Amino acid sequence: MNQETIINKMSELKLEGFKTAYLRQIENRNYDKLSFNEKLYNLLESQDTFQHNRKIQMNFKMSKIKDKKTRGLNIVHSSHRVELKGTSMRKFMSKID
């Protein structure tokens, strides 16, 4: 079985994170030093990260947030108030304007 067959199967199964990590492993000779389990874990971790990021992107698209400028702010919501981590209210308001 060649690499192209494996890559095509990953695409067919929609394992984009897995495929990206696999291509990275092929290109980088340092991966040859890793054990099979370490390589496999790296592939699985990349797929997990890819799915997590895709979920965040989808949730953001589906959110009702109209002002996309607030995207980069680190906002923590609690049951009583909204708190801006590491950002003063003045900085927050200047980013919105």
Res. 80 pLDDT band, cuts 50 70 90: very low
Structure confidence by residue, pLDDT tens digits, 18-37: 999 999 999 998 888 999 99
Assess contact for 69 and 62: CB atoms under 8 A.
Answer: no
Q: d(Cα 86, Cα 16) in Å, to the nearest integer?
A: 34
Tokens for 55, please give them: 């979920």
Quote the CA–CA distance of 60 and 68 in Å, as a whole number: 9
Using the predicted structure, report yes or no on whether residue 97 has a pLDDT greater than 50. no
Q: What's the rounded mean pLDDT across residues 83-96?
A: 52
- Euclidean distance between CA atoms 56 and 43, whole angstroms: 20
Higher pLDDT: 89 or 11? It is 11
